[in-house]
Every structure is written in C-alpha cells, then in structure tokens.
Amino acid sequence: MIFTFLKQKQPTRMFSIFKSKKNPDEKNPAQVETRPVSFTDKIRQGLTRTRQQLGKQLSGLFGGRKIDEDLYEELETALLTADTGIEATNRLLESLRTRVRRDALDDSEQLKTVLQDVLTELLQPLERPLVTTGHTPFVIMIAGVNGVGKTTTIGKLAHYFQSQGHSVLLAAGDTFRAAAQEQLKVWGERNQITVISQESDPGKKSDPAAVIFDAINAAVARKIDIVLADTAGRLTTQLHLMEEIRKIKRVIAKAIPDAPHEVLLVLDANTGQNAVSQLKAFNDALGVTGLVMTKLDGTARGGVIAAIAAQFTDTPPALRFIGVGEGLDDLRPFNAREFAEALFD
C-alpha cells in the first residue's frame, strides 16, 4: 500500500533548516530601514561570486582603455574563467568585434553595455517560461545526477506553483534514499501539500515507477493541477539506472498517454562545463524539455549558462528556472536580460 502524507501544520523547529545564510557584516534589522528586494536585486546578489571573479579581471578593461587585441585577449581569459566555455566565448567576442566595428567604438568604457547586449542575444533562446495550462494534471518529471539539489528544487517549485494558485501533489519517486523521501515530506508539510511515497516497510523496496504511477492516479482522482515527480539521482555512466529512468517515463505515459508534459533536468552551476555533458546524456535518454540551474549563488561559474546556449544553437533547451539563493522565493523563471546585466554590473 502506498503511504499518503496528508497536510499537516509545519513544526516551528523545522523552519531553521531553510533560513538563508546570514551575513556577519549585516546590520541589525532594527537599525536599518527595510524594503522589499526585487528579484533583479536577488539575481545580482546571487551572482556575486561570479561577478567578483569576473570583476578581478575586468576591472581594468572597462576603464577607458583603448580597444585593441590585448583587451580582447584579457576579456577572453575572463570569460573562460567564469566557465563560459570556448564556443560561447568565441561567439561573444565575435559579436563584440562586429559591434565595435559597426558603431566605430574606440573606448573600452563603451564595451560593458555592448557585452551585456551580445550576452543577452546569446541567452535569449533559452528564455522560455514553463506554461502548465492545457493538461490537468500537468505532470513534471524531475531528473538529475546525485547532489544537484533535486528534492530542494521540487519544494521550491511547489511553492512557486502554489503562489500562482495551482494545487500541487508530490511523488516521492526517489526510493533509493530514505532521506530523500523524508526531505520531500518536510517540504510537503511546509507547503501543506500531499506527498505520495513508498510503503514504510524497511524490508521492502518499492518500484519508483509504481510510486509515481499511483501518485498520478491520485492526482487525477483529486483533480490536482500539477504533479512533481522526483526520481533518484544517478550518474550518467550508470547505464542500468539510466534505463530505469526511461522505464519511469514509460510508466508515466501509461497513467496519462501524453505525460510527462515536462521533463525537467536539474543542473548544479558548481559543476561548470560538466553540466553540458549531463544535459546531453539525459536528453538522449529522456528528451529533456526544460532545465533548472541551481546554486548560482554559491559558484563563480555562472557563465556555464552561456556555454549551454552556445552548445545547443540548433535546438536550445528551455532554461525554465534559476536558483540564486536558499529562500523559497529564490527560484524564479529565467530572464536573459536580467541575468546578463547582473553578471557584469
């Protein structure tokens, strides 16, 4: 029998787990005037490490120098350091050179805005928000390697969809790790969402596909808007596990013929260029329809998004969400212009 985790009030002690890190230099809230922080500001704050890494190398480039080959070489080094990748770096520099010639620019102070513009153009094809209308329930399958933050991402996605007025159900399809199921139940408590998980018998291993199948049927019966189906983290080299995740997708289609309606791959920005190879492997196995880039606030490798855009020019993936902090509201739809401006601000 599948265990259904019903809505419960979240114990107060649980909330400390999800508090954002406190800046030791931050003033006492009573001493400063508080104001709402826009998501643009959150992106800027979240990209601080990447921006600082770039800033060390760009500080002398946008300071009134003459635009010459030395400047382009230094800019190339700075972009590669941020894990932008060779293809994206070459495309950005080529576009930059074209703009410089076209507009007869001769002062490096003018390059910052132009660089933001060409980066925005490169990233624009990735900016395709997720639309969940047209299917009830709308089934979202979540995949990714171990440690990228899938379960936490599911909790934040649940909060995001709830804030839009949607009802949500969580399917605890990661039956390999008991901790993953318990973590998902905590998110269910916090968001007051039902979680469908395996039978609580330590001697019996449940089939993850069966758990998700039952969850989808429960969502249909309850007229739930969105199902978020967790799957076990796996290395792309573990062929038997990659085959199992293909099975999960096939079983989902048995529950609802045109499901899953979205296959979201969660990527950790800290992995840098390895994120590109993960995308290729999961796309081959599942046909990835969207991406979530997590932990941008904890890495200096924020340029990896540009690397993905450059690697998939013919069929660019949709970067649905980016994570720039630990708070519930720090997972938001990707905006190319906001990202480019925050990166070089």
Question: First and final CA of the chain: distance in angstroms?
Answer: 54
The pLDDT, as a whole number, for residue 25 is 43
User: What pTM did the predictor assign?
Assistant: 0.83
Angle at 232 between CA 226 and CA 234, to 5 degrees: 130
The predicted-structure confidence for 130-141, as pLDDT tens digits, reads as follows 999 989 999 999
- Integer Cα distance of 69 and 67 in angstroms: 7
Place 19 in a pLDDT band, splitting at 50, 70 and 90.
very low
The predicted-structure confidence for 91-106, as pLDDT tens digits, reads as follows 999 999 999 999 998 8
Residue 40 has pLDDT above 50, yes or no: yes
Which among 171, 199, 183 has a CA at the least distance from the CA of 147?
A: 183
Distance of alpha carbon 11 from its chain centroid, rounded?
A: 28
Backbone angles phi, psi at 121, to 5 degrees: -60, -40
Place 343 in a pLDDT band, splitting at 50, 70 and 90.
confident
- Integer Cα distance of 45 and 146 in angstroms: 26
The predicted-structure confidence for 149-191, as pLDDT tens digits, reads as follows 898 899 999 999 999 999 999 998 887 776 778 888 888 888 8
Residue 5 has pLDDT above 50, yes or no: no
Task: Say if residues 279 and 265 touch (Cβ distance below 8 Å).
Answer: yes
The pLDDT, as a whole number, for residue 16 is 27
CA distances from 106 to 9, 31, 74 (A): 62, 46, 16
Mean pLDDT of 74-87: 88
Percent above pLDDT 90 for the chain: 44
Question: Residue 177: CB partners within 8 Å, gap ≥ 6?
Answer: 232, 233
The pLDDT, as a whole number, for residue 83 is 85
Mean pLDDT of 248-256: 95
Percent above pLDDT 70 for the chain: 81
The pLDDT, as a whole number, for residue 38 is 64
